[in-house]
Amino acid sequence: VHGSGKTALAAKIAEESNFPFIKICSPDKMIGFSETAKCQAIKKIFDDAYKSQLSCVVVDDIERLLDYVPIGPRFSNLVLQALLVLLKKAPPKGRKLLIVGTTSRKDVLQEMEMLDAFSTTVHIPNIATGEHLMEALELLSVFKDKERNTIAQNVKGKKVWIGIKKLL
């Protein structure tokens, strides 16, 4: 789901791991890269991660990293193959690597046989109820009690549909 907070959650997991090496592999940092340059940049992130005993790599927005477009459908097979090799490759002896990936298109990753490279998948839904919205607002501490009470009265028992990203 777009805007549900997947990237923020992935970054939080990485941060909470307290691993000495954390790197985010994001398509934002690869704008204008050729397929080959993208593959090299991704490989460098993994190579750097292998140098530390405990590392975490967040592969963010995987379908965008692959230049996936539903019309066609088109994507970079070169980047897909490179990513598959790196995701499935065991780290060197004595090294541990946590890889967290994010996507809004689980169906596409399933079709590309990439989901199997991850040991676990977690669905991050949008906030769907007024009660969940209030829990999120309380955790975020962005409103005063009086403002939160007013919001609570307006959303009580109602359905809402908002991602954490949009809420922030």
Enclosing H/E stretch for 162: strand 159-162
Measured between alpha carbons, how far is 150 from 64 in angstroms, rounded to an integer? 39
Tokens of 55: 């590392």
Structure tokens at 16: 């909470």
Angle between helices 35-50 and 77-88 (to 10 degrees): 10
Residue 67: active-site member? no
At residue 129, φ and ψ (nearest 5 deg) are: -125, 160
Q: Is 116 a catalytic residue?
A: no
Question: Would residue 60 show up in a list of annotated catalytic residues for this protein?
Answer: yes
Q: Find the catalytic residue in 12, 51, 88, 89.
A: 88
Q: Is 48 a catalytic residue?
A: no
Q: Among this protein's residues, is 47 annotated catalytic?
A: no
- Catalytic residue, chosen from 7, 38, 102, 103, is 7
Asked about 36 being catalytic, the answer comes back as: no
- Give the residue among 129, 106, 125 at the shortest CA–CA distance from 3: 125
Q: Of 52, 47, 65, 50, whose CA–CA distance to 7 is shortest?
A: 65
Catalytic: which of 23, 43, 106, 165? 165
| Active-site option among 38, 61, 102, 103 | 61
**CA distance linking residue 14 with residue 33, whole number of Å:** 26
Which residue in the block uniquely carries the two structure tokens 């995701």? 87
The one catalytic residue among 28, 29, 60, 102: 60
Active-site residues, by number, are: 6-7, 60-61, 88, 165
